[in-house]
Amino acid sequence: MVDHQHVGFTCTCPSRKTPCKHALALLLLWVRDQVVDTPPPAHVSTWIDRRSARRTTASRSADGDGASSDTASESTAPEPAASETVEAGDAIGESDPTQPVPQPDRNTARNDRVERMHGGLSELDRWLDDRIRTGLADPSLARYATWDDLAARLVDAQAGSLANRIRRLAGLVGASPGWHDEVLAELGLLHLLSQAGRHLGSLPGPLADAVATSVGWQVKQADVLAGVPDTDHWIVAGRSDVREDRIEVRRHWLRGTSSGRWALCLSFAAYQQSLDASLRVGTSVHADIHRYPGPALRSLVGARYALPVEPVSPPSHTIAEGCDEVGSMLVSEPWLDRLPVTIRARLARSGGVWALADATGSLPVLDAGTRQFDAGLAMLLAVSEGREVDLTVEWTPHGVVPLSIHLPDRTVDIGPRANTSFVSAA
Amino acid sequence: MKSVDDHWQALVTTALLGTDRREPPEAPQLIADLVADTARTSASERMLALVAATTAVRRAGVVPGPLLDELAIPDGDDRRPCVPAAVDRWHHITVSWPVLEDEWMLTLVTAGWRIAPELLPAMLVRHRSDPVRRTRVMVGAGSTGRWLVGHLPDLAARHPNATVTPEALAELPELPIAPELAQLVNWPGAESGGVLAQSLEDGTLGHPHRAMLINLLARVRADALLDIADILDAVDSASPGYGLATVLGDLATTRHRMLDELST
């Protein structure tokens, strides 16, 4: 909504720019005389009335103080843009529009949060510096306290995503013969994120959004859902469940039939809660997808326009083409640690390690290690019988995780599944 | 000229020792250009910048690994794999009505189906210790089963040398049924269903008899199941046996559908 007479605007979009592009677009339309002259809807009238009441109160207050004349009051009437853009919720939040409402100083709260995050990122960089100075052979790396203390401090600094990365990193120490290699790479990416996070203001908009999200900046679901939707027939190409700390995380990878773009829908469940079972692998859903800020794949499913259709499968690539697709996604965000790709490949063995292979090369399958029997790999072997099949996999830096096998008449979901004694996971 | 991979190995070696003991390696031009604009004074800061840049370059440049030989594929099997509905049914009965699992498998083998490949790993894991059920799975799986176990030793039987007689393989296990109920096994559905519904409504049969009633419905003649399910579904909802009748009706329906899906 835009008040062109007293210059004010409000929007439900998550943009941190003031005014946002939607308000600017509306003003441009008005300047070009392209806004239809109709009676304002109820919520617009309420907003205008409230602004008017505020102006009246402010001018009375100014008169009472013996301040300047009406003319002078008029000249200072336009309100600061920043205070307007945070009014998205107040159309439904106030009972008496004639009373001035004390606004929470959201900019101050935001600045405090940014400052805390900067402090946390500086501390992370100091910690990384110590690790590099003393070396990965330092016995302190094998102690959980080394990692847990840092993770806790990052949580306090509102950098929850980095805290999760630190906890996952702790699990890599000593877990495989090549753990030094994996830990060093992750330390490098943490350094990259901490540096980028401390210079958000100087980064291009989409990259800044991506870094902020990767560091742990929270965006409200309502704000994401208020954004412009990406409407398409979305193929649910794969699913994977992963336990992170005490939360089970379900990832659904969707691919747009028209756009060819990937989207990631997450659901979370603590003990005895339920994961989202509304997206079934191998079906296509005609729906709106609302993306989080930045180029990241994370999205929310909005309106659904029809019942799911099956069987469908995304277009597949050779392994070389799949690597190109993954590489192009990693160029913009090298810290991403899971990416989807659909390839046509067969299982093969390479020195005791399972791999996916075709005529262009191979990709190692992520080793389940000693944790448990790898049911997904066994299903893939049984269904493919050593032949090439179309399959959606999740790329990780340590190998690919097969998620689903796309057969002509059906899709077989073979992604890692949550333990049903912990959460309900249909 | 040093490759990015060689440079990475040098970085790992330095990181193991720590920059207090070893200076960061000299970077190839590609990486050096990336970190050239950073003002870093200490060796550890320079090292971190190098590690970050090299990791980003290596990840973005992900390339396929070497070409690998094909696996030998299993021998052919003329039998059709069971239909997806039967696959879903197996998952359902192993969770809700395990009493039906033996009949599911025997019906599948008798009717000339092959176990759908996506069921094989779960079945082989489930029946590693029971020689009779294990043998039935291997018969239903055919050459793919043997091929799969050859590649994944985790799926091998716990007692590979156990002997199984053909009779044990072909017969359903005997289930305990009380003598007064046993006669219902061969009755037509309308009659046996009527007796059951009446007994549940008047409380003659109740939850203490649940296990016995489940065994009965797992063995009544197949053509009686639909009638029994209909009659049990019509049990008075105010009667004490309504809950149990609903459960038994579900069992009868499940068994009827299972046999229907596996009929030739």
Contacts of B16 in chain A (CB under 8 A): 135-137, 180
pLDDT confidence of residue B194: 95
Out of A133, A349, A383, closest to residue B44 by CB: A133
What is the least distance, in Å, from the CA of A337 to any CA of chain B?
10
Q: What is the pLDDT of residue A422?
A: 85
pLDDT at position A88: 36
Q: Give the B window 44-83 contacts with A, CB below 8 Å.
A: 44-45, 47-49, 51-56, 58-74
Residue type, A369: G
Judge whether B177 and B185 are in contact, CB under 8 Å: yes
B55 with A395: Cβ contact below 8 A? no
Would you call B20 and A135 a contact, using CB atoms and an 8 Å cutoff? yes
Whether B182 contacts B213, CB under 8 Å: no
Chain A residue numbers with beta carbons less than 8 Å from the beta carbon of B7 are none
User: How far is CA B124 from each of CA A100, A382, B117, B145, rounded to the nearest angstrom?
Assistant: 72, 11, 11, 8
Q: Residues for chain A: how many in total?
A: 426
In whole angstroms, what separates CA B185 from the centre of its chain?
32
Q: Both tokens of residue A339?
A: 């990416």
The nearest alpha carbon in chain A to B120 belongs to A382
- SS3 assignment, position B142: coil
Residues A131 and B11 sit within 8 Å (Cβ to Cβ): no
* Average pLDDT, integer, range B197-220: 94
Which among B20, B47, B59 is the nearest to A330, CB-wise? B59
A192: which chain B residues are within 8 Å (Cβ-Cβ)?
52, 55-56
Structure tokens at A264: 């990631």
Express each pLDDT in A300-342 by its tens digit: 999 999 999 988 899 999 999 999 999 999 998 999 989 999 9
The pLDDT score that the predictor gives to residue A76 is 35
- The mean of the pLDDT values for chain A is 84
Please tell me the distance from the alpha carbon of residue A212 to that of residue B13, in angstroms, as a whole number: 32
Give the Cα separation of A150 and B19 in Å (integer). 21
Q: Bridge partners of A127?
A: none
**In which residue are the tokens 């590489």 written?**
A327
- Between chains, do A189 and B73 touch, taking CB under 8 Å as contact? no
Q: Tell me the per-residue pLDDT of B97-152, one tens digit each, with 9 for 90 and over.
A: 999 999 999 999 999 999 999 999 999 999 999 999 999 999 999 999 999 999 99
pLDDT profile of chain A (426 residues), mean per 10: 78 70 82 76 79 74 46 35 37 43 63 87 95 93 90 92 91 88 95 93 89 88 92 97 88 96 94 91 96 87 93 94 95 92 96 92 80 81 96 94 94 92 73
- Three-class HEC string of chain A: CEECCCCEECCCCCCCCCCCHHHHHHHHHHHCCCCCCCCCCHHHHHHHHHHHHHHHHHHHHHHHCCCCCHHHHHHCCCCCHHHHHCCCCCCCCCCCCCCCCCCCCHHHHHHHHHHHHHHHHHHHHHHHHHHHHHCCCCHHHHCHHHHHHHHHHHHHCCCHHHHHHHHHHHHHCCCCCCHHHHHHHHHHHHHHHHHHHHCHHHCCHHHHHHHHHHHCCCCCHHHHHCCCCEEEEEEEEEEEEEEECCEEEEEEEEEECCCCCEEEEEEEECCCCECCCCCCCCCEEEEEEEECCCCCCEEEEEEECCCCECCCCCCCECHHHHHHHHHHHHHHCCCCCCEEEEEEEEEEEECCEEEEEECCEEEEECCCCCCCCCHHHHHHHHHHCCCCEEEEEEEECCEEEEEEEECCCCEEECCCCCCCCCCECC
Q: Is residue A36 classed exposed, middle or buried when 0-12, 13-18 and 19+ CB atoms within 10 A define those classes?
A: exposed
Residue B201: partners with Cβ closer than 8 Å, 6 or more residues away: B235, B236, B239, B240, B241, B245
A319 has a chain B CB within 8 A of its CB? yes
